[in-house]
Amino acid sequence: MKKSEKINGYGERFGLIIAFFIMIITISFLSDRFLTLPNILNILRQSSINGIIAVGMTMVILTAGIDLSVGSILGLTAVITADLLHSGIPVFLAILLGLLLGFCIGFVNGLLITKFKIPPFIATLGMMTLARGLAFTYTQGKPITGLNESFRVIGTGMIGSIPLPVIIAALVFFLGYLFLKRSRHGENIYALGNNETAAEFSGIPVKRYISLVYALSGFLSALAGMILIGRLDSAQPIIGQGYEFDAIAAVVVGGTSFTGGHGSVWGTLIGVLIIAVINNGLNLLDVSSFYEQVVKGVVIAIALLLHRLAQKKN
Amino acid sequence: NKEESDGLTLGLSLSTLNNPFFVTLKEGAEAKAAELGAKLIIVDSQDDPSKEATNIEDLIQKGVDALLINPTDADAIVPSIKKANAAGIPVFTIDRGAAGGDVVSHIASDNVAGGKMAAEYMVELLGGKGNVVELEGIAGTSAARDRGKGFNSVVSGNSGLSVVARQTANFNRAEGLSVFENILQAQSEISAVFAHNDEMILGAVQAAEAAGRTGIIFIGFDAVDDAVNAVKSGKLAATVAQQPAEIGSLGVDAAVKSLSGGSVESSIPVPLALVTK
Amino acid sequence: MIEQNNFILSMENIIKIFPGVTALDDVTFRAEFGEIHALVGENGAGKSTLMKVLAGINSPDSGSINLDSEIVEIGSPGKAQSLGISMIHQELALIPYLTVGQNIYLGREPHRKIKTFIDWKKLYKQAKVQLSRLDMDIDPKTLVVNIPIAQQQMVEVAKALSINAKIIVMDEPTSALTDKETKILFRVMRHLKDQGITILYISHRLEEIFEIADRVTVLRDGFHISTSIISDISSDDIVKMMVGRELGDLYPKKNVPQNECVLEVKGLSSGKLLNNISFHLNKGEVLGISGLIGAGRTELARALFGIDTFDHGEIFINGDSVRIRSPREAISMGLGFLTEDRKEQGLFLGMSVRENITISVLKEFSSFGFPFFSKLKTLTEKFIKQMNIRTPNIHQKVKNLSGGNQQKVLIARWLNLNPRVLILDEPTRGIDVGAKAEIYTLIDRLAGDGVGIIMISSELPEIIGISDRVIVIREGSITGEFSREELSQDKIMQCAATGGIDES
Amino acid sequence: MNLKETDIKDFLRRYSVAMILLIMVISLSLFSWRFLRPANLINISLQTSIVAIVAIGMTFTILTGGIDLSVGSVMALCGALASGCIVRNGFPIYTAILLALIIGVGIGFLNGLLIVKGNIPPFVATLAVMAISRGLTLVYTQGRPISGMGDDFVYWGSGKIGVLPVPVIILFIIFLISYIILRHTRFGLHIYAIGGNEETARLAGINNDKSKIFVYMISSFTAALAGILLTARLWSAQPNAGVGLELEAIAATVLGGTSLMGGYGGTGGTVVGAFIMGVLANGLNLLEITADYQRVIKGIIFILAVMFDIYTKKEKKKG
Ligand SMILES: Nc1ncnc2c1ncn2[C@@H]1O[C@H](COP(=O)(O)OP(=O)(O)OP(=O)(O)O)[C@@H](O)[C@H]1O
Ligand SMILES: Nc1ncnc2c1ncn2[C@@H]1O[C@H](COP(=O)(O)OP(=O)(O)OP(=O)(O)O)[C@@H](O)[C@H]1O
Ligand SMILES: [Mg+2]
Ligand SMILES: [Mg+2]
């Protein structure tokens, strides 16, 4: 089947994978706690939230767009879901409504971009400010605490010894892969990211796909938000602030290009894991908070340089 | 004295409204202003000193009768206070002080003392022995600095306690959760945790619960509603109460009193309290 | 070496290998002082690659280059320029939001006393001069996005000429030009030749080569086949050497149009671009649309295909009045449109041949949204074979194909849809004779299958060769209509240029 | 054809961002009489000048199709370095300022190297440098503000020349320089060319790498300068200064009509864009809109402003 395409894709990420392993080996030399099963599960669980958001972000960036509003959508849907739970409606309904809200806000982003031709950066920046404002207005700035135990399972549950968030994230990645690389919709999304005019002239419903992609991004942000508040047992209006940066960084570190039409969720997965491992390593090694950022920046830069180096060699 | 304060407009500049502590402070101030019939204009600096300077300039332009400032930083606020002084607007600082300029009155409780209070209670609970973790606030903010300073002044003088991890979680509950998760992985023996605010300690409590680690003493700071409830239910050992609503209320009270010709103390301490079960 | 003194340039034993393709296999190429040396070959033969090696864009895997009998290393485009080599690239590469003048002098801006400051007055004055050398009457301060593609091509020419070069490479400069501009260009080329400048000229239009070139070199599959003096060789010889076999009749023309009208346009008007256009198209008919550049032919096609809106007019398909508001609707009504600008409006350059060909039929080959990749592969391979698309495999990125093969990929995409009406806007632009013949055969076969075809072309021989009927457009209006029997180049040109046939 | 009408449309198209600013100014002055007072206008320009200076540098990187996320951190670092050198090491203030500016430019050089030589996408390269610079600021200041730089230093942020605050005058000078660079120098033209089509620029013999590195040096320079001005305005160097400023600078640039794809736009629009945001913030404060609603309204107005801009541009195309 698409064998040589696969090999190509793998080759492109080869350097990144190497950089990732070098990082893992280095940290495991510095801390014997690092490569233990509980910590690996811990890292996976922590990356699940950024991972879920980053899958949506990957789709958005594949269309040559960007979504700065993910963190705010997460925040707004989280507080509203928490409030719905407090109001006593059935858990599954609250979840459904929360996810639907995320989907709708994302869809509005899509409309602003396709119907009103607002550049994605501006449209989602506006939405980021707006949704955060709504989250604060809605809660009056106060956290909503004490959530239904059966709801919290989404964040705290385990299947066997694997945390539920990890399984959800894995599912999201797998579905993302199926959608982008196996379904015709994915191929259409790559095509429109590659050349929007050509896509339109080929009869691809470009606007519909763009709206869909932002809606999915909103939906996934909402999903990530549920996991997060499930774990925290509380939704704060500030929750999710700055998450857009982590998600975008993961996507771009993973090799998806801002010009659109090039990249994949597997690259994003590596990006997400790299970021999570850095954060985990810094905590395990008890790096002082002053030096934390320096180390983080240097590690990301070195990882990418290694990646490019390997790419050149290939 | 309701009549006297009629028509007074007070400007209240808050360092951030992203933190329930300041939201409660704001509400205390609002309630008092409503009671006294004064008008309150509130601006949010979002922890950014330059936004703060801007906001305060706008309030001065607006011609408020007095300024209640909760500075993002004691140094960075000085030029703004001087501007207000030049415009003849009396200034009151709230919760955090200023390093210069003419301030009529400072209404606050002492962060350093609060840190000490938390540490002393921790020493008492631990019997002077154990591995301690400190979750720090946003690096470079004065709250993080002062609370850490107070806490460490006690802990470092106590040979039985050793701080095994000291990491920032940026005053944020979600980060408190993940950072403490990571620390739990690194440290098999943790006896107590102190966090620079309640948000972080509540995140840490969730992390410990999820990991099934019991017997850890958690102490927070701020006494926000969630934390007080957590103390009641036994999840938190204690939280340092600064009585934010009281601070806000006293601030408005002092400003109105001073504007209507009364005299106010140059420093109005708001007592700290340790909330325990 | 043989009479090396006569050669200004000799490229010796050049080898250039791309992943999966040997683009140049031990090619030796020499050019004399002041000659116009044509370079011909099929799409993908390696013409552009050879010239890019000369211009410092591609570095050869082995081989050497002599310039004025000295071995030179041409590492970069800047170096090539300083050695007196300038190149007009096959793919238009102007910068859209800069002015014409800025584009012409990019990298070589006239400056004031302090070198960092541009002397705008001088720049635009000089640009004006360069443009007028090409009979171009446009303001050099116009942004490049705002001028049509033909004028952009002439700006490219002006840019190459403005470098006082010893060797000028022209890679298919006329593919986007009509006769008028081509004539101007040839005049300028002869003038340059008289000044002792060497011109290396790539074109797929053989008649041009016989008109302008002194010598001709044929490449095939990366090999050097022959170099001959133009008077020693015939057109058929060249074609034979290019394609490696005898080529039959270029314009097959077997089918006969049916009597059933498939598309009718009544009174189509749009601003100043289109004015009361009415025509009909029968099943199995090839309708040629001729006209000068900027006449509005592309505008007409875009309006039909639902890309641009129009003010008045009605469109009928199979007798039913239809409203077409988007390309999607057009496609669903059985229309297909091959755009003239394949890079900007047609191809997904970063995607594979398979993806480019099958993008419009994914739905038909999917169940529950998941395509059967094996079927798509078979389909793609069928087209590759049928249309003789030169690619190492179906996964090759389209950007790595030669221009002609890219065009075939696009045509394949439209054929996939089995359209009722296929609009082809300059379908053979940049395509070699062999492929042209294949495309003409294809058009004829499609017409034979009952597809109505609208063929927009600036090449008169081709329009005359394959159309059943031709309409001529001038300044947005139809100025003439000819049946196959009445057709002649003169008549078309007259309608296109002056708006009617003089009785003289 | 009515010549006047097309003139107006053309004018609208070219200056649509400025029109938005004008509309905002007019409507705000209807709502609040304080708005149009000279003192308030000067106040707004002072507030806006620092973001605008950073945004001018940002515009250079965006014009090449890049982006610089490190500006906020560079501001903080350079402000802290200048203050630290004066307060801790007793450097003369201009030596300290010069040193900080040089280090700022050096960071820009590092950004450029990572992007050009390391072939790392600008977004992540500058994101990494953003983290590094912020960390270095925290290390250097030990998380504490630095103050006590003296009146000569403070003058640069808080002083006035005539009625105009010094940062506003500096903004004006920086804008002028940027305008000259972009409109009248070869380097400026090459920036547009690189943003328009890198390959073509390369084929034209332009040294893309050098130009790009230089662009990031400019961006860091303006950030460093803004950092020093901010420090002087606040009379203290804050370790957390400039957090999130990159987004504001980018927003000002894009609002001002520069395309994130590169190759199109200019610093004039950027300054107007920065003022739109400044006027909006000031207006909302003057109208006593509470903090939560301010965000909501800001988001909406932001989107509306861009809609207007796009709408006027579309008008021209049809006409
Ligand atoms: N960058 C590249 N990567 C891979 N293959 C390439 C690349 N550039 C060219 N090729 C291949 O090299 C061969 C020669 O291409 P070239 O562009 O020189 O053909 P050409 O003779 O100019 O054809 P045309 O007439 O269609 O322009 C083709 O098979 C092409 O696919
Ligand atoms: N001098 C000019 N300046 C700007 N735009 C022009 C000029 N001349 C023509 N155009 C534009 O060119 C287009 C009309 O040309 P069009 O491409 O339809 O011509 P055509 O007959 O299809 O020629 P071609 O051979 O290029 O396909 C319109 O978009 C028109 O605005
Ligand atoms: Mg070619
Ligand atoms: Mg055309």
Contact at CB, A280 and B226, closer than 8 angstroms: no
Question: Does A39 fall in a domain?
Answer: no
Question: Is there contact between B and C if contact means ≥3 C-beta pairs under 8 Å?
Answer: no
CB A283 within 8 A of CB B186: yes
- pLDDT exceeds 70 at position A314: no
* A interface residues, B as partner, C-beta within 8 Å: 31, 33, 36, 38-39, 42, 45-46, 136, 140-143, 145-146, 156, 228, 231-234, 236-241, 279-280, 282-286, 288-290, 292
Question: For A215-234, how does the pLDDT look when each residue is reduced to its tens digit (9 = 90+)?
Answer: 999 999 999 999 999 999 99
ipTM of the complex: 0.85
Q: What is the pLDDT of residue C332?
A: 92
CA distance A36 to chain B (A): 9
CATH architecture, domain defined by C4-243 = 3-Layer(aba) Sandwich (3.40)
- pLDDT exceeds 80 at position C4: no
Q: Which of B245, B235, B168, B171 has the alpha carbon at shortest distance from B208? A: B235
CB B69 within 8 A of CB B56: yes
Search chain A and give the residue with CA nearest C359: A188
Search chain A and give the residue with CA nearest B168: A289
Search chain A and give the residue with CA nearest C374: A1
Nearest atom (ligand 2) to Cα of C425: 27
The pLDDT confidence band at residue A8, using thresholds 50, 70 and 90, is very low
The Cα C357–Cα B245 span in angstroms is 68
CA distance A89 to chain D (A): 27
- Residues in chain B predicted with pLDDT less than 70, given as ranges, are 1-6
Question: Does D12 fall in a domain?
Answer: no
- The parent domain of residue D270 ranges over 35-311
CB C471 within 8 A of CB C279: yes
Beta-carbon contacts of C236 under 8 Å, excluding residues fewer than 6 positions away, are C247
C48 lines ligand 1 (CB under 6 A): yes
The Cα B239–Cα B274 span in angstroms is 6
Chain A residues whose CB is inside 8 A of the D127 CB are 245, 249, 297, 300
Could you tell me if C170 lies within 8 Å of chain A, comparing CB atoms?
no
Contact at CB, A203 and C371, closer than 8 angstroms: no
Contact at CB, A142 and B23, closer than 8 angstroms: yes
What's the average model confidence in pLDDT over D278-297? 84
C419 lines ligand 2 (CB under 6 A): no
Enclosing H/E stretch for C66: strand C62-67
Question: Does A26 fall in a domain?
Answer: no
pLDDT averaged over chain D? 88
Question: For D213-271, how does the pLDDT look when each residue is reduced to its tens digit (9 = 90+)?
Answer: 999 999 999 999 999 999 998 888 988 888 889 988 998 998 888 888 888 889 999 99
- The parent domain of residue A187 ranges over 47-240
CB-nearest partner of B206 from A45, A232, A286: A232
CB B226 within 8 A of CB A145: yes
The pLDDT confidence band at residue C265, using thresholds 50, 70 and 90, is very high
Residue C247: count other Cβ atoms within 10 Å of its Cβ. Answer: 15
C296 lines ligand 2 (CB under 6 A): yes
Question: Does D27 fall in a domain?
Answer: no
Could you tell me if A8 lies within 8 Å of chain C, comparing CB atoms?
yes
Chain D residues whose CB is inside 8 A of the C77 CB are 202-205
Number of H helices, E strands in chain C: 17, 22
Distance (Å) from CA A233 to ligand 2 centroid: 64
Q: Report the range of poorest mean pLDDT among A80-94, C176-190, D97-111, D181-195.
A: C176-190
Residue C503 main-chain phi, psi, to 5 deg: -90, 90
Find chains touching chain A: ≥3 CB pairs under 8 Å. B, C, D
Residue B165, SS3?
A: strand
- pLDDT exceeds 50 at position A2: no
Contact at CB, D121 and A308, closer than 8 angstroms: no
- pLDDT exceeds 80 at position C411: yes
Question: For A239-277, how does the pLDDT look when each residue is reduced to its tens digit (9 = 90+)?
Answer: 999 899 899 999 988 888 888 888 999 999 999 999 999
Question: Does A302 fall in a domain?
Answer: no
C297 lines ligand 2 (CB under 6 A): yes
Q: What is the pLDDT of residue B4?
A: 46
Ligand 2 atom 4, closest CA: C147
Contact at CB, C95 and D186, closer than 8 angstroms: no
Contact at CB, B181 and A42, closer than 8 angstroms: yes
Ligand 1 atom 19, closest CA: C44
Contact at CB, B43 and D285, closer than 8 angstroms: yes
Distance (Å) from CA C217 to ligand 3 centroid: 14
Q: Which of C50, C158, C154, C176 has the alpha carbon at shortest distance from C108? A: C158
CATH for C247-334+419-504? 3.40.50.300
Distance (Å) from CA C203 to ligand 3 centroid: 9
C400 lines ligand 1 (CB under 6 A): yes
- pLDDT exceeds 50 at position A77: yes
Distance (Å) from CA C202 to ligand 3 centroid: 8
Question: For A149-171, how does the pLDDT look when each residue is reduced to its tens digit (9 = 90+)?
Answer: 999 999 999 999 899 999 999 99
- pLDDT exceeds 70 at position D1: no
* Residue % of chain C over a pLDDT of 90: 48
pLDDT averaged over chain C? 88
Enclosing H/E stretch for D310: helix D291-318
Contact at CB, B58 and D241, closer than 8 angstroms: no
pTM: 0.88
C24 lines ligand 1 (CB under 6 A): no
Name the domain count of chain D. 1
Q: Report the range of poorest mean pLDDT among B3-7, C369-373, C381-385, D201-205.
A: B3-7
Q: What is the pLDDT of residue B51?
A: 87
- pLDDT exceeds 80 at position A9: no
Cα distance from N-terminal residue to C-terminal residue, chain A: 23
C295 lines ligand 2 (CB under 6 A): yes
Q: What is the pLDDT of residue A243?
A: 93
Contact at CB, A116 and D135, closer than 8 angstroms: no
Question: For D21-67, how does the pLDDT look when each residue is reduced to its tens digit (9 = 90+)?
Answer: 888 888 888 888 778 888 888 888 988 999 999 999 999 999 999 99
Question: Does A313 fall in a domain?
Answer: no
Q: What is the CATH number of the domain that holds D129?
A: 1.10.3470
Question: Does A119 fall in a domain?
Answer: yes
CB D24 within 8 A of CB D279: yes
Search chain D and give the residue with CA nearest B101: D235
What's the average model confidence in pLDDT over C200-220? 92
Question: For D112-122, how does the pLDDT look when each residue is reduced to its tens digit (9 = 90+)?
Answer: 999 999 988 89
CB-nearest partner of C117 from D185, D192, D202: D185
CB D147 within 8 A of CB B99: yes
CB-nearest partner of A201 from C327, C362, C395: C327
Could you tell me if C256 lies within 8 Å of chain A, comparing CB atoms?
no
Residue C458 main-chain phi, psi, to 5 deg: -100, -5
Q: Where are the domains of chain C?
A: 4-243, 247-334+419-504, 347-417
CB-nearest partner of D286 from B53, B61, B138: B61
Q: What is the pLDDT of residue A180?
A: 96
C458 lines ligand 2 (CB under 6 A): yes
Distance (Å) from CA C298 to ligand 4 centroid: 4
Residue C434 main-chain phi, psi, to 5 deg: -60, -50
C299, C342, C454, C455: which to mutate for ligand 2, most atoms within 8 A of CB?
C299
CB-nearest partner of C118 from D184, D197, D199: D184
Could you tell me if B34 lies within 8 Å of chain A, comparing CB atoms?
no
Name the domain count of chain A. 1
Chain B residues whose CB is inside 8 A of the D238 CB are 49, 73, 75-76, 140
